[in-house]
Structure 1
Amino acid sequence: IGGIQSNHTRMVAAVAAKLGLACVLVQENWVDYSDAVYDRVGNIMMSRLMGADVRLVDQGFDIGFRRSWEEALEDVHKRGGKPYAIPAGASDHELGGLGYVGFAEEVRRQEADLGFKFDYIVVCAVTGSTQAGMVVGFAADGRANRVIGIDASATPEQTRAQILRIARRTADMVGLEAGIADSDVVLDTRYAYPAYG
């Protein structure tokens, strides 16, 4: 699930095509953009070319689970399929935060090669898994709160709560003994308004 021009859903379509799996994408109208071909070009066109069943849904932005998500899963079940459900941004998923935990180790190696440490890591935050994984990865050397998320969701309370939930679940999965404190999730809300994007 994602917006009409979602990079995430395009990558899901690519992986499914590579593995020979059927792919159903729920593409919601997350941005107020009225170009006549917006839903036929770019990422959505690539997803279709890779064989994805693209379903356009006239719903605005929301990082939560919605009826369109449930309907897609029900439809796959009705057709005898076994869906592997991936939420927006692969975020609020049991494995959603793992992808960027290793990012911190990669940055530490680069810092060692460069001979200095970055003061902050700044990342765009919408569905939360990227920042959550980074927070967990940098918690190992006490820099969890040096990962600054720039809110692009325009729903900062929901986004912050999701980042924290994903980070805590991920910390448990990787055995981070110190855990993740509320103060470890830093979300700058000055730039997103009035809407997602």
Structure 2
Amino acid sequence: MNPIRFERRRYTGGATPIERLARFSECLGGPTVYIKRDDQLGLAAGGNKTRKLEYLVADAIKQGADTLITCGAVQSNHCRLTLAAAVREGLSCQLVLSEPETGYQPHASGNHLLFHLMGAEKIEVIPADGDMQESMEKLAAALEREGRKAYLIPVGGSSEVGTLGYMACAEEIEQQSLELGIPFDYVVTATGSAGTQAGLIAGFAARQSSSSVIGINVSRDRESQEKKVQELLLSTAEFVGLKGELPASLVRCEDEYVGPGYAIPTAEMVEAVKLLARTEGILLDPVYTGKAMAGLIGLIRRGAFRKEDRVLFLHTGGTPALYTYADTFFSEM
């Protein structure tokens, strides 16, 4: 077993809760839906990237890095949490951000405000079609010339090391399932950079669990996303020495709820965010969890689950971005 599995920083005290969504489930008239509150993970405002960063930052420290460099959209949850982890560890952090079609707004709220509040050392904004990896490597080279050492983290923290965070989460879910006496038939999650879904699948496979993972795409088409998840799943399994077959059938992604594209609102997303807020008082975000919940609602309405199924929705966080979409929710799409 690769020793990296045991090299981990801890940013959350204990397991995140699992809650039964009684009023939400009753409203939909389908299976019983539960929610795993990874929006309550540690670091600034929480979210799924915290689990990945526990392993990534441990690796960075082991390699003697003094600066974390990562990339994402201008409202990237991953960039927010990477910066928060760097602050926690006394490291510097530089960000490469992709300019949105609407143009870059230096004083935007949401996550972008938090980048400045937490003191990112440098924010470099590149065109939407720019090469983020190349830009990160240039920043790292500049630091090296100064006698410093950078550790590069890919989009979403979705490398073999980062994916270990959701292998650990699968183990956590299995333990909670035993304690609660509730075997979960399905786990539903947003899927984008693939690390969360791949990690869950690998983690459940390692535990020989019968829980099936369904990814709701936030950007790509089904074929492209399933290929991305499968590739990361297999490389992670090899990385940790996971034995046994991991057939392609374990990877399931739904692409009907992406809408016009990544981070572009849909009427289904707006409905999902409002429904959970008004039945359970839980906030989702418009980019990831809102579309993932729209996918779960759509699957329930088309009869994809049995009434007796127990479905666990993974809340991957991202709520700071909610406040940058005020016009979308006031407009009643």
TM-score, normalised relative to structure 2: 0.52
* Aligned equivalent of 2:111: 43
Secondary structure, counterpart of 1:55 in structure 2: strand
Is 2:175 the partner of 1:106? no
Deviations 1:130-152 (A, max 9, x none): 001000011132436x1000010
Q: Percent identity?
A: 35
- Structure 1: which 5+ residue stretches go unaligned? none
SS of the counterpart of 1:95?
A: helix
Matching of residue 26 in structure 1 with residue 114 in structure 2 = no
Give the AA of the match of 1:85.
Answer: L
How far apart are 1:89 and its partner, in Å? Answer: 0.4
Which structure has more relative contact order (CA 8 Å, sep 6+)? It is 2
Aligned pair partner of 2:127 in 58, 83, 99: 58
1:173 equivalent in alignment to 2:239: yes
Where does 1:43-192 land on structure 2 (aligned, <5 Å)? Answer: 43-52=111-120, 53-59=122-128, 66-91=133-158, 93-139=159-205, 140-143=207-210, 146-192=212-258
The amino acid of 2:140's aligned partner reads: L
Contact 2:229 2:251 in 1 (8 A): yes
Instruction: Give the whole-Å Cα distance in 1 for the aligned partners of 2:107 and 2:145.
Output: 27
How far did residue 179 of structure 1 move? 3.7
Partners of 1:125 and 1:47 in 2: how far apart? 24
The corresponding residue for 2:83 is 13
Compute the displacement of 1:189 (Å): 1.1
Whole-angstrom CA distance in 2 between matches of 1:65 and 1:187: 25
Any conservation in 2 of the 1:172–1:179 contact (CA below 8 Å)? no
Instruction: Answer yes or no: is the 8 Å Cα contact 1:4–1:27 preserved in 2.
Output: yes
Please tell me whether the aligned partners of residues 166 and 196 of structure 2 are also in contact (alpha carbons under 8 angstroms): yes
Please say which structure displays the higher CA radius of gyration: 2
Cα offset, 1:108, TM superposition: 1.4
TM-score normalised by structure 1 residue count: 0.85
Q: Which amino acid aligns with 2:150?
A: P
- Name the Cα RMSD after superposition: 2.4
Please report how far the alpha carbon of residue 48 of structure 1 lies from its aligned counterpart in structure 2 after TM superposition: 1.9
| Alignment: residue pair count | 191
- Distance in 1 between residues matched to 2:105 and 2:152, nearest whole Å: 28
